[in-house]
Amino acid sequence: MCGIVGYVGHRDCSDVLVKALTGLEYRGYDSAGIAVFENQKISVAKSKGKLKDLVDKMKVEGRPKGFAGIGHTRWATHGEPSDINSHPHSGAKVTLVHNGIIENYKELKEFLQKQGRVFLSDTDTEVAAQLLDYYYSHIKEPVKAIIETTQELKGSYALGIVFEDFPNRVFAVRRESPLIVGVGKSENFIASDVPAIIEYTKDYYLLEQDEIAILDENGVRVFDNHYQPVVKELKTADWDVDAVGKCGYPHYMIKEINEQPTAIKNTVTPRVKDGMPCLDECNINPEVLRKIKNIYIVACGSAMHSGMVGKYVIEEIARTAVTVDIASEFRYRNPIIGKGDLIIIVSQSGETADSLAAMRLAKEKGAKTLAIVNAMGSTIAREADMLIYTHAGPEISVASTKAYMVQLSVMYLFAFELAFAKGQIDEEKYKYYTAKLLETPEMVEKVIAQTTEISQKISMKLLTADSLLYIGRGLDYALSMEGSLKLKEISYIHSESYAAGELKHGTISLITKDMPVIAVATQSALYEKTVSNIKEVKARGAKVIMICQDGNDVPKDIADYVLKIPTFEEILLPMLVCVPLQLIAYYTSVQKGNDVDQPRNLAKSVTVE
Ligand code: AGP
């Protein structure tokens, strides 16, 4: 996600801002910029690339000199990484930096354009800047203008703001996206996170929802959104810089597991209009969808596993044939794909070599290409005919969790859109499914709370295993693939996912006493059959961990552990069940003392064959 910093004090502001931004580099970013008061004017320097690129650019073009200003590292969500899309963004008198997503930016942009305002970038942030400038031009008072503006903004934001008419003063306001106010000795800061300011001060205020801070030579003042002063409790960071980068979590992976509700919200909510999916911005319309004959979902690793879930969902409700393929296999098997077919490439990084090659091959053969990508402006994103960005924010841990989760959420959006376009579901069902999808952030929150402790307990029982099986049927089988990969890649314990109904055709010979078998049994239509398969492995001595719904009646003595998830719309259960599968893998790795975030032999993005 983006990083925000601000400074008012006695030091060289540009220097402080750049240094503070390096403390936020762990968040991942693709461009950076600063705005500094210089001779009563706001001077901006910004560029695509890393902070080093910004510093190099300032060496050539000049570095703003002053004692107050704001800075930003951007993780692109709206508008690809470029100089012009980098923050800060400005109106006539206002310049600001933003972390979050303005969900209603389109309507606001249309309104402002009707007022004659011209936009230079593709970002939602520039809309916020121009809207604030619009209100300030009428109200002439910065805090009142901020209050008016934020009442119109929908979505999440933390804003660092400077007004040209108020030199050497920095303003800040937040909703959803975190923002702190650092309190130093005759200098003050704003920042998205403590690492940005830890070199200067450990004392800070946590801005609460809709609170507005003013930093100037008199110190820090905080107001609520009724312009009433707020007395803040001063906190002192006792984390080391690295821990703070994880916001207090011991590892990025567990932080990213807990970020999943917000990631889903940021990915799904802006794509729902009047209770129905709206993918127009992704070049996806009913006309195009109606013409699709066959669908191929091609990806690697967890991304491919999200495609497996997508297959079951799309075939179930849109009645369109879906083939899921590992990208490194697809690209070398001379695939039968062509005009009228759609290939869906799923990739968190958007740079995976095999997935990119598969997309290019499909394009050469005349197929339409749709990319589901998390990294803005990545190669796969740029080359696809149609594109749906996921908004998980940067995923630092090598083991994918929140990116996989939001890939699932986009699979559902696409499946509902396709099914409705093809007349396979009516508007009522279309809205019902969409409403249920909108409930998933809250449901995932519940599952995290409900299954964290038992996942930790279960992980203790896996530590000495040589190998284990993950079994399931239908959607549960697709999920068991992801559970198995998660465990393997970070705990280094061998596991294999297996279709529960297929065990008896050979693999059941592997079952020995106390061999752990994780059985996913959430789909009612297949529940009895899966229970029979569980009994088969139990009878041969397996130690069974069963994952099912709260409402399921679990036969006595069938499982050594039963991990229950809340009852919910079954077709959406993969978004709930993946959480305990992630947690079991995480805690097993932690117990084994492995490097959870950087497991041996692995890279976050495999940009080579
Ligand atoms: C996921 O836990 C793995 N680290 C890995 O399988 C990953 O999903 C795969 O390499 C695909 O990466 P991509 O999504 O960036 O294309």
pLDDT tens digits for range 559-589? 999 999 999 999 999 999 999 999 999 999 9
pLDDT number for residue 123: 94
Q: Judge if 51 and 88 occupy the same domain.
A: yes
Q: Judge if 131 and 272 occupy the same domain.
A: no
What pLDDT digit, counting tens, does each position of 96-140 carry? 999 988 989 999 999 999 999 999 999 999 999 999 999 999 999
- Across the range 458-479, mean pLDDT stands at 97
pLDDT exceeds 70 at position 608: no
pLDDT number for residue 236: 83
Please state the three-class secondary structure of 253-313 as a single string: HHHHHHCHHHHHHHHHHHHEECCEECCHHHCCCHHHHHCCCCEEEEECHHHHHHHHHHHHH
pLDDT exceeds 80 at position 595: yes
- DSSP code per residue over 41-105: EEEEEEEES-HHHHHHHHHHH-----SEEEEEEE--SSS-S-TTTSSPEE-SSEEEEEEEEETTH
Q: Name the amino acid, one letter, at 580.
A: P
Q: CA dist 173 to 167, 179, 235, 512, 591, Å?
A: 18, 8, 18, 59, 41
pLDDT number for residue 609: 65
pLDDT number for residue 375: 80
* Last residue of one domain, picked from the residues 375, 400, 425: 425
Ligand 1: atom nearest CA of 380 is 16
Write out residues with Cβ below 6 Å of ligand 1: 300-303, 347-349, 352, 355, 398-400, 489, 605-606
On the question of a cis peptide bond just before residue 88, with omega within 30 degrees of 0, the verdict is: yes
- Give the confidence band of 554 by pLDDT, cuts at 50, 70, 90: very high
By most ligand atoms within 8 Å of CB, the mutation choice from 351, 352, 395, 400 for ligand 1 is 400
Residue 406 Cα to ligand 1 midpoint, Å, equals 13
Ligand 1: atom nearest CA of 486 is 2
Q: How many CB atoms lie within 10 A of CB 141?
A: 14
Q: CA dist 298 to 79, 341, 403, 517, Å?
A: 25, 13, 16, 28
By most ligand atoms within 8 Å of CB, the mutation choice from 252, 306, 606 for ligand 1 is 606
Mean pLDDT score across all residues of the chain: 93
Q: Judge if 310 and 197 occupy the same domain.
A: no
Which single residue is written with the structure tokens 């979590």?
Answer: 249
- Give the confidence band of 237 by pLDDT, cuts at 50, 70, 90: confident
Q: Whose CA is nearest to atom 4 of ligand 1?
A: 399
pLDDT exceeds 80 at position 405: yes
Q: Whose CA is nearest to atom 9 of ligand 1?
A: 301
pLDDT exceeds 70 at position 238: no
Assess if residue 572 is contained within a domain: no
Q: Whose CA is nearest to atom 16 of ligand 1?
A: 347
Residue 123 Cα to ligand 1 midpoint, Å, equals 28
> Is 604 a residue of the active site?
yes
Q: CA dist 208 to 33, 243, 384, Å?
A: 26, 22, 40
pTM of the predicted protein model: 0.74
* Last residue of one domain, picked from the residues 244, 268, 285: 244
By most ligand atoms within 8 Å of CB, the mutation choice from 302, 356, 390, 497 for ligand 1 is 302
Q: Judge if 212 and 317 occupy the same domain.
A: no
Catalytic residue among 2, 13, 282, 578: 2
Residue 539 Cα to ligand 1 midpoint, Å, equals 36
pLDDT number for residue 146: 98
Assess if residue 80 is contained within a domain: yes
Q: Whose CA is nearest to atom 7 of ligand 1?
A: 301
The CATH number of whichever domain residue 300 belongs to comes to 3.40.50.10490
pLDDT exceeds 70 at position 500: yes
pLDDT number for residue 59: 95
Residue 355 Cα to ligand 1 midpoint, Å, equals 10
Are the CB atoms for 89 and 57 separated by under 8 Å?
no
pLDDT number for residue 177: 82
What pLDDT digit, counting tens, does each position of 360-381 carry? 999 999 999 999 999 876 789 8
Ligand 1: atom nearest CA of 400 is 2
Q: Judge if 57 and 195 occupy the same domain.
A: yes
Q: Judge if 302 and 230 occupy the same domain.
A: no
- Across the range 340-355, mean pLDDT stands at 93
* Last residue of one domain, picked from the residues 392, 425, 458: 425
Q: Judge if 230 and 317 occupy the same domain.
A: no
- Across the range 473-477, mean pLDDT stands at 98
pLDDT number for residue 451: 96
Q: Judge if 302 and 194 occupy the same domain.
A: no
Round to whole Å and give the CA distance between 568 and 15: 52
Torsion of CA 524, 528, 529, 532, to 10 degrees: 150
Ligand 1: atom nearest CA of 398 is 4
Domain count, the chain: 2
Q: Judge if 229 and 350 occupy the same domain.
A: no
Q: Name the amino acid, one letter, at 133.
A: D
Q: What are phi and psi of 89, to 5 degrees?
A: -120, 150
Q: What are phi and psi of 413, to 5 degrees?
A: -55, -45
Ligand 1: atom nearest CA of 355 is 16
Q: Whose CA is nearest to atom 6 of ligand 1?
A: 301
Catalytic residue among 19, 311, 538, 604: 604
Q: Name the amino acid, one letter, at 144.
A: K
Token pair of 553, please? 């009646």
Supply the range of the domain harboring residue 331.
249-425
Assess if residue 302 is contained within a domain: yes
pLDDT exceeds 60 at position 400: yes
pLDDT number for residue 25: 80
DSSP H or E segment with residue 174: strand 170-175
- Across the range 286-311, mean pLDDT stands at 96
Span between the terminal Cα atoms of the chain, in Å: 28
The CATH number of whichever domain residue 224 belongs to comes to 3.60.20.10
Ligand 1: atom nearest CA of 401 is 2
Residue 604 Cα to ligand 1 midpoint, Å, equals 7
- Give the confidence band of 11 by pLDDT, cuts at 50, 70, 90: very high
- Across the range 535-546, mean pLDDT stands at 96
Q: Judge if 216 and 361 occupy the same domain.
A: no
pLDDT exceeds 70 at position 242: no
Q: Judge if 230 and 281 occupy the same domain.
A: no
Assess if residue 516 is contained within a domain: no
Q: How many CB atoms lie within 10 A of CB 107?
A: 12
Q: Can you list the pairs that 502-505 forms with residues at least 24 positions away whose Cβ atoms lie under 8 Å?
A: 503/469, 503/471, 503/533, 503/536, 503/537, 504/536
Q: Judge if 155 and 272 occupy the same domain.
A: no
Token pair of 603, please? 């890279």
CA 51 centroid distance within chain: 23
Assess if residue 104 is contained within a domain: yes
Round to whole Å and give the CA distance between 357 and 608: 11
pLDDT number for residue 65: 96
What pLDDT digit, counting tens, does each position of 162-183 carry? 999 999 999 999 997 889 999 9
Q: CA dist 293 to 290, 361, 386, Å?
A: 8, 18, 16
By most ligand atoms within 8 Å of CB, the mutation choice from 252, 260, 300, 390 for ligand 1 is 300
- Across the range 412-433, mean pLDDT stands at 97
Ligand 1: atom nearest CA of 305 is 8
pLDDT exceeds 60 at position 10: yes
Select from 605, 595, 607, 600 the least CA-distant residue to 400: 605
- Give the confidence band of 24 by pLDDT, cuts at 50, 70, 90: confident
Assess if residue 230 is contained within a domain: yes
Residue 564 Cα to ligand 1 midpoint, Å, equals 28
Q: Name the amino acid, one letter, at 163.
A: F
By most ligand atoms within 8 Å of CB, the mutation choice from 330, 352, 497 for ligand 1 is 352
- Across the range 373-398, mean pLDDT stands at 87
Assess if residue 91 is contained within a domain: yes
Assess if residue 458 is contained within a domain: no
pLDDT number for residue 259: 94
Least confident of 165-169, 386-390, 595-599: 595-599
Residue 349 Cα to ligand 1 midpoint, Å, equals 8
What pLDDT digit, counting tens, does each position of 191-223 carry? 998 889 988 998 999 898 899 999 997 799 999
- Across the range 77-89, mean pLDDT stands at 90
Are the CB atoms for 517 and 483 separated by under 8 Å?
no
Round to whole Å and give the CA distance between 49 and 30: 5
Residue 195 Cα to ligand 1 midpoint, Å, equals 28
Q: Which residues pair with 34 in a beta bridge?
A: 45, 71
> Is 592 a residue of the active site?
no
Residue 205 Cα to ligand 1 midpoint, Å, equals 38
Q: Which residues pair with 222 in a beta bridge?
A: 213
- Across the range 291-319, mean pLDDT stands at 97
Q: How many CB atoms lie within 10 A of CB 605?
A: 16
pLDDT number for residue 239: 55
- Across the range 536-563, mean pLDDT stands at 95
